[in-house]
Structure 1
Amino acid sequence: MLCTLQIKSAKPRARGYKLADAGGLFVLVQPSGSKLWRYKFRIGRVEGLLALGSFPEVGLAEARAEHARSRKLVEQGIHPVHERKRQREALAIDYLNRDKGAFGAIYAQWDSATSVDLAAGTIRQRRREIKNDLLPKLKDRAITSITRLELTAILKEVERRAPEIARNLRNYLWGIFECAIDSGLLENNPVPPLRVLKKRKQKNHAALSPSQIGEFLGAMDFGVNELSTRIAMRLVMLTACRKVEATGAEWTEFDLKRGGWEIPAERMKAGHPHWVPLPRQAVALLTELRAIVPKGQKYLFPNRRDPNRPMAGRTLNALMDRLGFGDKGTPHGMRAAFSTHFNGRHANADVIERCLAHVPVNAVRAAYNRHAYLKERRAMLQQWADYLDLLHKKHGKHAVLPPVPPTVRRKTNSGTQRRRSRRSLRKAA
């Protein structure tokens, strides 16, 4: 067997040579003078070689101890080289779990990577839902310790309260755990399949009938004192835009002289800019609004509590509820009414879809055709605005406002007081 003095005294030669110890352990003396510990072994009929470090960094006693551990593995039929690789991978995973493997850390990484192309409203909604229902239970948990059974229980609990949020959370969880897989923390995604949640009952946005649209317009004449809210609702109706596109509109997007509204890509559902030709009625309403709002105001319809934010999305739904139309239609349903009207008259389907901002799937074609059917769209929206005026004139007189609660009735018990309140609102604006 070798001794330390022998190893120290060994001189390099023109070719490498071995200094044998015992049980397959030896020192390989290289022509460069380096002395390397090696263990030669055989498992079955396959020969293997394990590197144990270099002398003198690894001394004789340390090399023999490592050699003894490796021999025990060989006796069990375990390849020591493969076992060492497995241990290194396990250590790396332990490091990731300890420093980067908490659910909250992986969520932050996923959120940062996937928020780039999302609308601001979508990001806020996603973060709010995760903060409310996932982070309180999972934030500090090692992501490797979270089981499918546990995730199913969380989703089922949320589903009892809000089925749609539960479906959203499942989608978020799938992305977060896929991110963990890409980071080397997991091999399989534990998120349960969609079948654990009840099937969605698809419900279209309720749309007012033509006569109800006329009655609703008439009801707004007498039942809505807030000028900006009334104009926001009329803008949705006149342009067939989405509610959020109107409530978040900024003055810089409008060219009232040319009758155009350019909605930027970041505010559109499909992520493409959308040009809206404004009918004469919309231009008149916005001109009236522009004349009474303070200079420098960013939004057409600012939030009452914070003018640096747009009008709350629920405001227009609340208006319909207040006037007694909430169970008959929604602001989004105005788009369906527009589509039904022109499809029923066999109008050009491409023009209808362009007015509704339903762009082609091909992104290049969508960008190129941003102003496609310009004249046809302007003509169609003007026809729609004229049709709304006709419905207003024909059915508006039949509008019946819901009963006013007693506390409110005492404050507005006469048409004179209502008119005064409107005038004071305009002065304040």
Structure 2
Amino acid sequence: MALAKLTDVALRKAKPAEKDYRLSDGGGLALLIRPNGARLWQYRFRHNGREQIHSLGAYPEITLAAAREAHRKARALVADGINPVTSKREERQQARQRELVEKAGSFDTVVSAWRELTDPHLAPLTIRQREREVGKYLLPTFKGRRISSITRVELAALLKKVEPRAPEVARNLRNYLNGIFDHAADHGLVDANPVPPRRILAKRASTHHRPLPFDQLHKFISDIQASSAEPATKAALLLTMLTACRKQEATGARWDEFDLKAALWTIPEERMKARREHVIPLPHQAVKLLQALRDTTTSEALFPSRSKAGGTMSERTLNALLERTGYAGVSIHGFRSLFSTWANENGENPDVIERCLAHVHQNAVRRAYNHAQHIAERRDLLQRWANLLLPQETAQELAEAA
């Protein structure tokens, strides 16, 4: 004899008991009534030989008609060999995934999340370069786009467009994109990383910064000093040359890094490319230049920005100075190469030279144990280098001009 089907009246009249009990509607569908008054629709079925329970929701939120429809769909899945419990779980996961994509799936949102995760591990100079290049090339192209809609063909086209005029930037952009899409893949926003391989960019031989010939050094300095540039800009370039530092280390310098009485400049690790504090013994010419500069400014920065309050001189300012004075083909970084060439050709201690340049030794064991600062030797070497660039009397004139 077939069991009678449930009715809305019977469901409303059903009262809790001391123990759980069920009201069956047939075909495995039943309403579980608990002592606390909870009423839960359940579908009992067998899958791969095991009895399982599929929860369909609570009554009366899920009406009898809705429960029967859900039961019908679940039975159809079982008939096809599909477990409705796992199927429902997958549907919830897919819904969460769709919600995630809606909230965090745009390209610019992913870029922000990627930078928030990775920027803290980078030097400030690297962060600024990344921000500049991403802001100039990637965001204008893909901002607002769903990241999953961006194709490998589009990425390749962008990189090939940038490469002819800025090959190094193109390589940087590819690295950024690789990190961005890896981050997206890790968070389920894309199925796979579509960034094209390195081979789409032409292989280029390594190039070194072209230094100024030795016999043009004094004329170069004379031309720079005779230019109409701001005294602080000239001083920044001279400081870079006298100390063999990188231009960003000079343009970003602050007065609290200097002890002019001890003639020492201590650059904190966060401003160094190798993320290691670097101490530079200052030659007499640099000290005179800085003493004169100190009398003309109240800023915490040696070379404050003229457009950004609290900021420092743009690295591009020094390049512009060379261009205005007819030395557009000369690289500022090349003065480090010039110093290295001069010191090595004169038979100086290689360790002292490398410490002057703030290079980290490639040999891990030697790098770990060779912590010697070589301050005295470096002071002597940099002083002789400064004497080559600026005789003492010339240095005094420059200091007074600054």
Which residue of structure 1 aligns with residue 160 of structure 2?
A: 156
**Residue segments in structure 1 that go unaligned for 5+ positions in a row:** 394-418
- Per the TM alignment, residue 306 of structure 1 is displaced from its structure 2 partner at its CA by 6.4
Q: Distance in 2 between matches of 1:22 and 1:273?
A: 78
Q: Tell me the TM-score normalized by structure 2.
A: 0.83
- Per the TM alignment, residue 335 of structure 1 is displaced from its structure 2 partner at its CA by 0.8
**Residue segments in structure 2 that go unaligned for 5+ positions in a row:** none
Q: Is the 8 A contact 1:129 1:165 kept in 2?
A: yes
What letter is aligned with 2:316?
Answer: R
Task: Decide which of 134, 138, 142 is 1:134's aligned counterpart.
Answer: 138
How many residues align? The count is 394
The answer to whether 1:105 aligns with 2:106 is no
Cα deviation code 1:100-126 (max 9, x no counterpart): 222222222223333334444443433
The equivalences for 1:70-219 within 5 A come to 70-219=74-223
Cα deviation code 1:175-203 (max 9, x no counterpart): 22233233332342222222222224421
Distance 1:266 1:367, change over 3 A: farther
Q: Is the 8 A contact 1:274 1:370 kept in 2?
A: no
Q: Distance in 2 between matches of 1:265 and 1:302?
A: 20
What letter is aligned with 1:348?
Answer: N
Which residue of structure 2 aligns with residue 234 of structure 1?
A: 238
SS at match of 2:120: coil
Cα deviation code 1:224-247 (max 9, x no counterpart): 775433332222121110112112
Q: Distance in 1 between matches of 2:372 and 2:287?
A: 19
Which residue of structure 2 aligns with residue 379 of structure 1?
A: 380
The answer to whether 1:264 aligns with 2:268 is yes
- Per the TM alignment, residue 93 of structure 1 is displaced from its structure 2 partner at its CA by 1.6
SS at match of 1:330: coil
Which residue of structure 2 aligns with residue 246 of structure 1?
A: 250
SS at match of 1:40: strand
Higher mean C-alpha deviation, range 107-116 or range 117-126? 117-126
Distance 1:118 1:136, change over 3 A: same
Task: Decide which of 300, 303, 309 is 1:301's aligned counterpart.
Answer: 303
- Per the TM alignment, residue 354 of structure 1 is displaced from its structure 2 partner at its CA by 1.5
Distance 1:381 1:127, change over 3 A: same
Q: Is the 8 A contact 1:12 1:29 kept in 2?
A: yes
Q: Distance in 2 between matches of 1:34 and 1:251?
A: 72
Q: Distance in 2 between matches of 1:41 and 1:368?
A: 70
Which residue of structure 2 aligns with residue 340 of structure 1?
A: 341
What letter is aligned with 1:310?
Answer: T
Distance 1:62 1:243, change over 3 A: same
Which residue of structure 2 aligns with residue 351 of structure 1?
A: 352
Task: Decide which of 312, 325, 331 is 1:310's aligned counterpart.
Answer: 312
Q: Distance in 2 between matches of 1:311 and 1:62?
A: 69
How well do the aligned residues superpose, as a CA RMSD in angstroms?
A: 3.6
SS at match of 1:27: strand
- Per the TM alignment, residue 99 of structure 1 is displaced from its structure 2 partner at its CA by 2.3
Q: Distance in 1 between matches of 2:146 and 2:25?
A: 46
Q: Is the 8 A contact 1:239 1:276 kept in 2?
A: yes
Q: Distance in 2 between matches of 1:304 and 1:55?
A: 70
Q: Distance in 2 between matches of 1:64 and 1:72?
A: 12
Q: Tell me the TM-score normalized by structure 1.
A: 0.79
Query: Which protein, 1 or 2, shows the higher relative CO under an 8 Å CA cutoff with sep ≥ 6?
Result: 1
- Per the TM alignment, residue 67 of structure 1 is displaced from its structure 2 partner at its CA by 0.2
Distance 1:99 1:320, change over 3 A: closer
Q: Is the 8 A contact 1:52 1:66 kept in 2?
A: yes
Which residue of structure 1 aligns with residue 30 of structure 2?
A: 26
Q: Distance in 2 between matches of 1:204 and 1:274?
A: 23
Q: Distance in 1 between matches of 2:377 and 2:182?
A: 46
Q: Distance in 1 between matches of 2:316 and 2:205?
A: 22
SS at match of 2:26: coil
